[in-house]
Amino acid sequence: MTKLSSPRLSNVWSALLCAAPIIGCLASDAAAGVKLIALPERERVEIRLERLGLTLVEEERTVPLAAGANDVVFAWANTAIDKGTIQFRSLTTPDQIKVLSVSYPPGENALTWQVAAPAAGPAKVRISYIIMGVDKSYEYRAETSKDEKTLSLWQYVQLHNRTQESFGESGMSFGFGDRLERPIGRSETRKILAARFDGVKVKKTYTADLASFGMLDPAKQQLKIPMHYVLENDTEHGLGRFPMEGGKVRIFQADDKGGVAFLGEDWGPFAARDDEWRLYVGVAKDVVVKRIIERSDRKRTAGVLSDYDVVVKYEIENFKDEPVTVDIVEMMPNLRGEVVGNGNLAPQWEIGKDGTMKEFDKAKSNVDRVLFHVEAPARGADQKAVKKTETLHVVFRNEW
């Protein structure tokens, strides 16, 4: 039997037709009268990239089959196909055109299907396989309005074809978002606009969190205040069509001249529907927060146990022309470590009555982390900030 192979995946189909019974196909070419059929072109290619590291390719071709048994050879070279995943299926009368057997020549990237057809004629067939070297990544471009209330978001898919195979016009599915169709060349990286969202509502936050972000000026006890754009992945805020895949986000802001200014870039993590997307846009220079432990009193209670009465003071100055909300976060294990010392036991704490900050954000707080939202007024007409002082009273119970 004549054995065909091809150096390229686009020439992987060969059909060896035999008009004799099945046993005749196993004889020599001369005895069996095997007829060589020119390789048909791909008619359709679908590439499915839903799962990381597992790319499924499905291709359809029309192959002329003879009545009886046909040997169809599938060969590939310089392409990393997992041969254990290769499947053949006839779309034309699938209940009659069936694969009788599969054989694998030793040491070769090839296999032969013996396909039975009830009558001679063209048959549309689908072959599918898992391929390595074809994958995707995501990038985003965000442009905020000048007032930083809304933004436009572009989502791009970076398709990476690291194989020597050219797939031509192909449909692509990514697990989330719309199906796309583009040509895919060999060893090509192609950037594709997958989705665009306009008028997305955005919230800008200012966060004072010593444990997470540290000090900007330790000598002045001034905290570092990172700024974030927070997007809600839901329809109410202009998103929510699908989960947002993780990817690099380049962030711009509209300027006074009709253009945009580059603010920076951040990694946008995966965000399911209704989740937040937080994008870092730098450290605030016009919102100042100083944090001072104003009181730390120890009171012995029973035996070697003591309670610690702690008051943390925050001095907030807003040098902007509009009021802002400052998110003040305290990590209780870290605060306990400052005043009591580190220990292996989880702290037992409660909010005391002497502080001004009593109502915390229950949805975003937990046993270790408390989040307060504090309104800081705009600066006055004299361009001076109004200093606002808030205090947090915490009692740590049963400390050694």
Q: Can you give the residue ranges of every domain in the chain?
A: 9-131, 134-199, 287-399
Question: What would the two tokens of residue 263 be?
Answer: 């603010």
In this prediction, what percent of the chain has a pLDDT beyond 70?
A: 90
Q: How many CB atoms lie within 10 A of CB 43?
A: 10
Least confident of 1-15, 119-133, 242-256, 381-395: 1-15
* Digit-coded pLDDT (tens) for 122-166: 999 999 999 999 999 999 999 999 999 999 999 999 999 999 888
Tokens of 257: 């001249």
What does pTM read for this prediction? 0.79
**In the chain, helix, strand, coil percent, each to 5?**
10, 55, 35
Asked if 339 contacts 296 with a C-beta cutoff of 8 angstroms, the reply is: yes
Residue 62 C-beta-side C-alpha neighbours within 13 Å: 4
Task: Point out the least confidently predicted range of 27-31, 67-71, 219-223, 245-249.
Answer: 27-31
Q: What is the mean pLDDT of the chain?
A: 88
pLDDT in tens, 310-334: 999 999 999 999 999 999 999 999 9
pLDDT at 19 over 70: no
What pLDDT band is residue 17 in, cutting at 50, 70 and 90? very low
How many DSSP H helices and E strands does the chain contain? 4, 27
Distance CA 25, CA 38 (A): 19
Report the alpha-carbon distance of residue 59 to residue 186 in Å, rounded: 16
* Cα–Cα distance measured from residue 171 to residue 346, given in angstroms and rounded to the nearest whole number: 54
